[in-house]
Amino acid sequence: MKNKTSIISVLFLFAVLLLAGGCSYAPSSGGAEDTTGAEATAPDTDTLIENEAKEIIDNMSLEEKVAQLFFVAPEALTYEESMTECDETFKDALSAYPVGGIIYFSSNITDEKQTKKMIKDTKAYGEKVCKVPLFIGVDEEGGTVARLSGKEGLDIPAIPDMKIIGEGGDPQKAYDTGAEIGAYLADYGFNVDFAPVADVLTNPENTVVKDRSFGQDPNTVSQMAISLSEGLNDKGIISCFKHFPGHGATTGDTHEGFAYTDKTLEEIEQSELVPFKDAVNAGAQLIMVGHISLPNITGDNLPASISPIIINDILREKLGYKGVVITDSLSMGALTDILGADEAAVNAFEAGSDILLMPEDFTLAYDGVLNAVNSGSISEERLNESVVRIIKLKIKALRSDK
């Protein structure tokens, strides 16, 4: 009798604990609120930004989405000789073609007041007609490739070649240089700098990036490029690592025509790819693909910028890059010698590029991509994929309330 009473007592106590929720494994009823699962599945910041980007493109026309792929000089829209102000001609052109970005050159820049007003007006009008902020870009590497530093009429000291920074071997100096460049670019209104050069100078006869490269050692180039990028980023400037998969082994100049390296994938993994792999791991937001050919890797002479093997297989899959891919200028000889502006734009996009930089003929290139989407040779899903990447970067880096 005593044992029976003890068993009943234990069962009664167990029932009380269940009712009180004291057993962690007690199943919850279908109507009970369970906040644990909600907390575990709360979307992260990147997911929230991606969802916002998708909502934005849901309200874009097909034409507006295609326009977002292009990063062009203002004259590509106006067909004027040199634009130095955001005039009515430019506004009309931007309304018709709300492109993703505008790149300025020395011919667009006369003095500080003019440049700041031109960019301020362009950004304001661009956000109005493009639904998202404009990329405002410039080639400001320092040394021989600089549109502002050392220019007559601007009170900006000349920046040395990156070769000199690399020879010093001090990443802090590279960071300080990036921060210096970033500070005056941000002051003028720019938000994208097509720097740093992440090319490893493996061929001493290379003249294209000879003084623009940080040097011959891949680890030094990697450290310097990432440090310079961080300096730019800390001043609010989007940096762009270039020219994937590395222009330092060539002798030819892709500005003029065909340029190649006969290196294998295993060989460039030991040198040219090192800075880009490290940049990806460091969170690179924008990578520029060059026009060099790598026949021993791709099995053909296609320039990297229109090669799915280089962009999708190596940069995206092998290196794990999730950010925005931009081509080098599509008006360079390596492409214009073999393709029309429409073909170059379509091929680069089909190969995996997101942003198409400076086609030889913008209208022809734009129509080429638009026609390809309308015909189904490029799916709208593929188009949306790139536009989402572009707008995500704009939300992260350019939105005023970020």
Active site residues: 255, 328
In the numeric block, which tokens belong to residue 334?
Answer: 């390596």
CA angle 100, 341, 259 (to 5 degrees): 100
* Partners of 135 in beta bridges: 101
In the numeric block, which tokens belong to residue 233?
Answer: 């980023």
Give the separation between CA 352 and CA 63, rounded to whole angstroms. 20
Place of tokens 């989407």: 373
Which regions of 218-262 does DSSP assign to beta strands (E)?
Answer: 238-239, 241-244
What is the number of alpha carbons within 13 Å of residue 211 lying toward its C-beta? 9
* Partners of 238 in beta bridges: 192
CA torsion, ordered 357, 359, 364, 366, to nearest 10 deg: 0
Q: Give the total residue count for the chain.
A: 402
